[in-house]
Structure 1
Amino acid sequence: MTSVDATNAQRAAAPLQRLSLAAICVLSGVLYCWGIGGSWGNSYYSAAVKSMSQSFENFFFGSFDPAGVVTVDKPPMALWLQVLSVKVFGFNQFAVLFPQVVAGVAAVFLLHRAVRRWAGEHAALIAALVLALTPITVLINRDNNPDTLLVLLVVAAAYAMTRSFESRRATWWVALAAFLVGCGFLTKMLQAWMVLPAFIAAYLVGSRAGWGRRLLDLGVAAVVVLVGSFWWVAATALWPSPKPYIGGSSDGSAWDLVFGYNGFGRIFGNGGNPGGNPGGGFQPPGGTGGGFQAPSGGGGFSGSSGILRMFNEQLAGQISWLLPLCALVLVAMLVAGVRRWRGGRPLDREQTGGWVLWGGWLVVVGVMLSFAQGIMHPYYTTMLAPAVGAVVGAGVVRFWRWYREPHGKAWLLLPVGVAITVAWAMAIVARDLSWHAWAGYAAVGLGVLALVVLLVGRRGKAALARTGLVLGLAAALAVPTAWSAIGAVSTQNGMGGANPMAGPETSMRPPGGVMRFPAAGDDGMPPDGPGQDGGQNSVEQGAPEQGPIFSTGGMGGGESLSAEQRKMLDYVQANAGDLDVPLAVEGGSMGASSYIINSDVTVVGMGGFSSSDEAPSVAQLAERKRAGQLGFVQLGGMGGPGGPGGMQRRDGMGDRDGMGEAPDGVQLPGGMPGRGGQIAQERDAWVKQNCTLVDPAAWGGSADTSAQLYRCS
């Protein structure tokens, strides 16, 4: 075929390629958007969106409560978009979740454009399809956690880096990539920086500029990424008091949040993150940790850290479907690169830069998430999905090229890739054959057929070989597609908006609303401390005989108010007048989210997410009381250091006053390990000493209610 014929063929195929991309984007939009109007997603962030929409200061800081007492535990960029959506559509479930749908589809589109410039149209379409159908990506894009926007921003940054390899204006493209990573930092802090080693290495390899120019460009990028990342941190520090307390920090500063709990604490398991307990086993409150500590290497919701974490029961079905194929592709390309170098052939800088970019992204982020010692939610792995898509797309195209070559043994890589991918998919399905096992059997059937056609078509007509390739792709994507579709229409998605997960209930740890305390002397995995990111205060741990079973009475900050909560709120509204804070609720987001979402009363969730923040402090409560600004405080019920409703036994016995004292001598946590319990209990003690308990009959509570309402005005 001449170059003219090739050009004409490309022009003829262009409409079909555009139609294919449009179909993939529509498919992703349907999966991400289906039924989102029936849920608030993560109610912690949804409540914050409503509060942020009420004043500029709340908007800028990301305030959780309408009074601007404490912020959420992340920078607010993702929530800014949700607030803008609420301003357009009103405060409702669809408006809160819709920005994530848009961001998810935009990430699919931008991944296609980035891979297309590097590896061609076919690789780009495969990459976009893989990203669209990754189960954990589908689930998180139907939620309002910040990870969806983070993925969009780093994919956009990767597109800019790809453009820098080929452009005379490389400095501008590198600076744009750095700015987008900085925006990712303002979405989820240091997690956005995980791609930087791959970006730096890719530019050093892929750029055609001299070494001096490359180093200068990276210097400019360093300045941009630092300014883009820290301007909000600096602004919050310089903002005059009074101002909201930065939730999740130990001193109320964004700097501490970045490098403490939500920074190095996630990596090393300190700073309030469960994990990193040198002794392992269960450490009760009152020990050196002051809370629940996971064994060394424990990451809570995603199982123990280590090289095989992505393949464990919690994460395998979320992200690992194509990781064996990715490993095969990267090894094959490394061998091919070494052989090319040893043969004295010149380096294709743009191609090599692309492999370093996407392969480096996959390896660096995968290793970081695999070995993270702190809280590790399964949905964090969605950050791997773009790199998985790019490596698979480019790898399959390269394998196809080798498959069609008449000589050598590299042609075997394509059928081997299909075989190992299908085998691993079936291995995941076999962990629970009671849950849609048909998807695994379908993948195996398609895989066997694909292998037969590929082997027969090796020396046959190109059309037969292409049929084998299509069947192989269908086999590789069959189970993740099924899990994604089921997750999009199912109400059983892990812990809902707090910790979305795909797959069967057996792979979801912790299951909704249950905590098992190990029996005395048990050295097994303990309950996780309350996670942030919308994480929850409960975990299924071990067999029933290990210890008493407790229920949190539903996940934190429910979707709606109970009848008892409504009665209490009506009483508060009737008696608090125009006070600045008619109602403060102990228990943080788990106590206050439902009040904020479902009413226009100014409600303060004391202690931030999990009651652990010193906001408001006892001194601030006293000052508000002296100034006549504080109406009522609720303890217990949906609040209290024990979590929603106090921790309740399934047999009906349990903590009634919300102070965290459970039956059988088990001490319940009060917020994050080492902090929340003491801080929350100091607030509770002050309330009981300085405010007056209201008879439940006065506000309509039942005689055995666990909720306690105190009048402080």
Structure 2
Amino acid sequence: MTAVLDAPAGAPSVKERPLIARVFLGRADDPRWARPLLWALLVLTGALYTWNLSASGDANTYYAAAVYSGAESWKAWFFGALDAGSFITVDKPPFALWVMGLSARIFGYSSWSMLLPQALMGVAAVGVLYSSVRRGLAERLGAGGAAAAASVAALVLALTPITVAINRDNNPDTLLVLLLVGAAWCCRRAIANGRLLPLLGCAALLGCAFNTKMLQGFLPLPAFASAYLVLADASLFRRIRNLLLAGVALIVAGGWWMGVVALIPADSRPYIGGSTDNTVWDLVIGYNGLGRIFGNESGGGGMGGGASFGGEAGAGRLFNDIIAGQISWLLPAAVLLGVAALALVGRAGRTDPARALLVLWGGWLLLHYAVFSFAEGTFHPYYTTAVAPAVAALVGAGGALLWRAPRALGWVLPLTVAVTGVWAFEVLHRTPDWQPWVAWVVAGAAFAAVLALLIVAYGPRAGRVLTACALTTALVAGLAGPAAYAVSTASGPVNGTNPTAGPDTGAGFGGMGRGGGGFPGGGQGPSGTPDGQGFPGGGGQGFPGGQAPTGFPGGQDGSGTGQTDQDAQPGPTGETDQTGETDQTGQADTSGQDGRGGFGGGGGFGGRGGLDDETVAYLEENQGSAKWLVAVSDAQTAATLILGTGRPVISMGGFTGSDDAMTVERLKALVADGSLRYIVVGGGRGPQGDGGGEVDTWVEENATVVDEVGDGSLYLLSAE
């Protein structure tokens, strides 16, 4: 590798290989080790993302129920409905659900059919990043140097702990990252050749990213557009014209699904979950848009009020006890290497490919850091997986460029390794009882790497052995910490609702390890889930002051009677504790395929969706010709019942129970046409939106009580 890194760029070209040969052997001018190394990296990544994949069971049951429903109904699949009857959608656009839903339709619903596409998309993102970095550096570093830089970037992305966790889960961020990395690939190519077609491809992929996670899909857009405008190899007129045309493509690609939904009458489609007015536009601007930044998302069922699972907003958020171990290991290195590499290529021409690569990924990193650090709305640690490609690209590209730098910049690499080693040591020592030897491996490797790099940079001409040792120990110092977290994450289930990697730090909202915990105070969750259940420990005791934030059904008092297992770690049987009593061992099942793993694979509601097995059996026996098995307050309860019974269940209030999806008029219509026979309301168990009280009152006055369910009641509905 050393000889290749030092090889001059611009070597004479040779006859190119056929496409199939290039796939397996690489380009004709690539060194022999390059393509085998890439395949080895992809195989390693695939193994890491798929090992024991079914341990996560249904993962996030909210999305799992939508995947199952989409495999049962094309209408539910298109809209991203939670249930096969298409009463209400999930609170995200459906693109990620489409991928998993198609897999479930083809192979049948299972943990593997749902999660394997996620893992494969994660592997694909690693490959696309490799290609982007290699192509951007080939002119300056030659084929060997570019391949080495791309290999480092690919390895960094593959081993980023939060990326490993999210690629073993069914949240939409996996597809989001793949689409954004693909858009960056297209944008870099458009900058290199100045042509319109790759820029249109970039816009189309950004539009798909929007339809995966709405405004988060547009976060890198300013960086892409400004990089093309300033650096593209075309006249200013062509650059402006191409950007305008790409803007049209972006609007079409991002807005077509939203437009189709807007054209369909509200009574012919599901209610738009998470919105305040049953429109996708409200979801874009509020709950999944500006509300995440300014913290005013509660109207659509979001947590609102600045509540965050990722810690307080501020410049240090990505380095706090919750998030540091997920993404920050090489964040300082990315900044140091990126800035130094930009200074190194500062005198190059405007269209220099290496500068374009650095500007593209540097802008991506800056925008994500700013938004993620200072966002006042709901912020989960797993959002930071979108930072990982930029960190990986800057570390790989910056490190390779500086390796070839003049002696004036020879201090940058040793300084970067030293800072990385010190920071990794600090992060690892925040959980001193978890694998303490890893911290000392990092410290020793960092010290040895710094000495070796200084000798290589300023000493007499170094031999290949010393140079290879310097590079190897530098990689160990930088990647030992995240690799340990990554392997730990791959060894068991992730918390489907709030997936994180590595050990439990016990800090803040979401201060959880790979299995759960999740909330301070031993993993307790917000109030308002049925009977205080659904989050391990129930109640809202895990929030500051013992109170859950607004936006959860049942108010803010943090009360709740139901007790579930304490840290949501997987149990051996695939069954959730049916008694609702605290399990002092802290073990709870999350791996059952029948949906009994509870909320997000992290504990359970007790029974199935808060209803005991006897009640569920009664509902199944007496559903008759009704479309829905039962109507319940919130999506977590409904999702668990859908997965446990395989039948449609109405979530009257959406994700948190606060959506106004159910009204008295709509309920009357469902009862009149025989679509619904049973409903659970009372004791905070009904819908919590503006019309929730009216629904409760109407049911209590016009329906017959069948059974008591916790502090609510199951009612039999009958047409008037």
**Could you list the runs of 5+ residues in structure 2 that have no partner in the other structure?**
1-6, 15-25, 138-145, 549-556, 565-597
Change (3 A) 1:146 1:558: closer
Give the letter aligned to residue 712 of structure 1: L
The corresponding residue for 2:576 is none
Amino acid in the other structure paired with 1:140? I
Number of equivalent positions:
629
Mapped contact 2:275–2:282 kept (Cα < 8 A): yes
1:526-605 equivalence runs, <5 A: 540-541=542-543, 553-554=563-564, 556=599, 562=607, 565-586=612-633, 588-605=634-651
1:454 counterpart residue number: 453
Question: Structure 1: which 5+ runs fail to align?
Answer: 275-289, 518-525, 637-656, 660-669
Task: Tell me the equivalent position of 1:615.
Answer: 661
- For the 8 Å contact 1:265–1:273, the answer to whether it is kept is no
Closer/same/farther in 2, CA of residues 557 and 631 from structure 1, 3 Å limit? farther
What letter is aligned with 1:414?
A: L
Alignment of 1:434-449 (within 5 A): 434-449=433-448
Give the 5 Å matches for 1:641-656: none
- Give the counterpart letter for 2:315 in structure 1: I
1:631 aligns with 2:657: no
Q: Equivalent residues in 2 for 1:297-316 (5 A)?
A: 298-316=306-324
- Residue 97 (structure 1) shift: 0.8
How big is the shift at 1:516? 7.7
Q: Tell me if 1:319 matches 2:327.
A: yes
Shift of 1:369: 1.0
Structure 2 residue corresponding to 1:688, chosen from 690, 700, 704: 700
**Aligned partner of 2:676: which letter?**
L
Matched, 1:16 2:21: no
Alignment equivalent of 2:386, drawn from 383, 388, 403: 383
Which one-letter code corresponds to 1:303 in the other structure? G
Tell me how far 1:293 sits from its aligned partner: 6.0
SS of structure 1 residue aligned to 2:697: helix
What percent identity do the matched residue pairs reach?
40
The 1:346–1:110 alpha-carbon spacing in structure 2 relative to 1, beyond 3 Å, is closer
Q: Which residue is equivalent to 1:644? A: none
Which of 229, 239, 250 does residue 225 from structure 1 map onto?
250
Q: Could you say if the C-alpha distance between residues 25 and 321 of structure 1 is closer, same or farther in structure 2, counting changes exceeding 3 Å?
A: same
CA contact (8 A) 1:513 1:538 kept: no
For 1:167 and 1:50, the matched residues in 2 are separated by 44
Name the CA distance, whole Å, in 2 between partners of 1:551 and 1:428: 37
Task: Name which of structure 1's ranges 226-235 and 437-446 shifts more when overlaid on structure 2.
Answer: 437-446
2:359 alignment partner, one of 348, 356, 381:
356
Match of 1:99 in 2: 117
Give 1:383 deviation, angstroms: 0.4
- Cα 1:358–1:49, aligned 2, differ >3 Å: closer, same or farther? same
Shift of 1:613: 1.3
CA deviation after TM superposition for structure 1 residue 544, in Å: 8.3
Distance 1:607 1:4 in 2: 62
Change (3 A) 1:204 1:622: same
Aligned to 2:403, the other structure's residue is in SS state helix
Range that drifts further, 569-578 or 381-390: 569-578
Contact 1:136-1:502 at 8 Å conserved across structures: yes
Aligned match of 1:186 in 188, 208, 211?
211
CA distance in 1, matches of 2:219, 2:91: 19
The residue number in structure 1 matching 2:51 is 34
Structure 2 CA distance, aligned partners of 1:5 and 1:256?
56
2-structure distance, mates of 1:215, 1:427:
47
Amino acid at match of 1:489: S
Distance 1:12-1:334 versus aligned 2 partners, 3 A rule: closer
CA distances 1:419-462 after superposition (whole Å, capped 9, x unpaired) = 00010001111112112222111111111122232233442224
Do the aligned partners of 2:72 and 2:105 also contact (CA within 8 Å) in 1?
A: no
Taking structure 1 as the reference length, what is the TM-score of the superposition? 0.82
Residues 11 and 573 of structure 1: CA distance in aligned 2, closer, same or farther (over 3 Å): closer
Alignment of 1:674-685 (within 5 A): 676=688, 678-685=690-697
Q: Which residue in the other structure is 1:157 paired with?
A: 183
The secondary structure found in structure 2 opposite 1:577 is coil
SS at match of 2:169: coil
The Cα shift of 1:598 comes to 1.9
Say if 1:91 and 1:135 are closer, same or farther in 2 by CA, change over 3 A. same
The answer on whether the counterparts of 2:118 and 2:170 sit within 8 Å (CA) in structure 1 is yes
Q: CA deviation at 1:574?
A: 2.0
1:465 pairs with 2:467: yes
**How far apart in 1 are the matches of 2:155 and 2:520?**
40
The answer for the alignment partner of 2:192 in structure 1 is 166
Q: Shift of the alpha carbon at 1:558?
A: 5.9
1:268 to partner: Cα distance: 0.9
Does structure 1 conserve the Cα–Cα contact (< 8 Å) formed by 2:304 and 2:378?
A: no
* Change over 3 Å in CA distance of 1:10–1:244 after alignment to 2: closer
Q: Superposed, which structure 2 residues align to 1:509-524 within 5 Å?
A: 509-510=509-510, 512=516
* Distance change (3 Å), C-alpha of 1:420 and 1:624: same
Aligned partner letter, 1:384: V
Query: Per-residue deviation at 1:466?
Result: 2.7
Q: Any conservation in 1 of the 2:173–2:383 contact (CA below 8 Å)?
A: yes
Q: CA separation of 1:577/1:484 partners in 2, compared to 1, >3 Å: closer, same or farther?
A: same
Q: Does the CA contact (< 8 Å) of 1:301 and 1:377 recur in 2? A: yes
Partner secondary structure for residue 31 of structure 2:
helix
Question: Matches of 1:90 and 1:712 in 2, distance apart?
Answer: 34
Partner of 2:64: 46
Give the aligned residue type for 1:16: W
| Aligned positions of 1:270-289 closer than 5 A | 270-272=296-298
Task: Give, in angstroms, the shift of residue 515 of structure 1.
Answer: 6.9
SS, match of residue 677 in structure 2? strand
Q: Which of 369, 372, 378 is the equivalent residue of 2:372?
A: 369
C-alpha distance in 2 between matches for 1:182 and 1:590 = 29
Match among 690, 693, 708 for residue 713 of structure 2: 708
Q: How many angstroms does 1:562 deviate by?
A: 2.3
Separation in 1 of the partners of 2:614 and 2:149? Answer: 59
Partner of 1:63: 81
Contact preservation (8 Å) 2:527, 2:559: no
Matched, 1:394 2:393: no
Tell me which amino acid in the other structure corresponds to 1:483. Answer: Y
Distance in 1, matches of 2:327 and 2:245, equals 35
Are the aligned partners of 2:59 and 2:600 in contact in 1 as well (CA < 8 Å)? Answer: no
SS of the aligned residue for 1:439 comes to helix
Q: Secondary structure at the match of 1:446?
A: helix
Per the alignment, residue 121 of structure 1 pairs with: 147
Question: Hey, what's the Cα distance between the residues in 1 that align with 2:528 and 2:318?
Answer: 22
**1:6 shift after superposition:** 7.5
Separation of aligned partners in 2, 1:2 and 1:117? 16
Deviation of the 1:602 alpha carbon: 2.5
CA–CA distance in structure 1, aligned partners of residues 319 and 712 of structure 2: 43
Partner of 1:247: 273
More deviation, 37-46/1-10: 1-10
Aligned with 2:32: secondary structure? helix
State how far apart, in whole Å, the 1-side matches of 2:344 and 2:423 are.
25
Aligned-partner SS, 2:204: helix
1:221 and 1:600 map into 2 onto residues whose CA distance is: 44
Preserved contact between residue 582 and residue 631 of structure 1 (Cα < 8 Å):
yes
SS of corresponding position for 1:506: coil
8 Å Cα contact 1:579/1:630 also seen in 2:
yes
Aligned partners of 2:541, 2:96: CA distance in 1, in Å? Answer: 28
Task: Give deviations 1:447-484, integer Å, cap 9, x for gaps.
Answer: 11222322334422243123201210111000000001
- Equivalent residue, structure 1, for 2:412: 413
Distance in 2 (CA, whole Å) between partners of 1:325 and 1:312 is: 17
1:136 aligned onto 2:139? no
Cα distance in 2, alignment partners of residues 327 and 356 from structure 1: 12
C-alpha contact 2:295 2:304 (8 A) present in aligned 1: no
When normalised by structure 2's length, the TM-score is: 0.81
CA separation of 1:680 and 1:425: change in aligned 2, threshold 3 A: farther
Query: Residue 466 of structure 1 aligns to which amino acid in structure 2?
Result: A
Is contact 2:296–2:304 with CA below 8 Å preserved after alignment? no
Aligned-partner residue type, residue 562 of structure 1: G
Alignment CA distance shift 1:419-1:529 (3 Å): farther
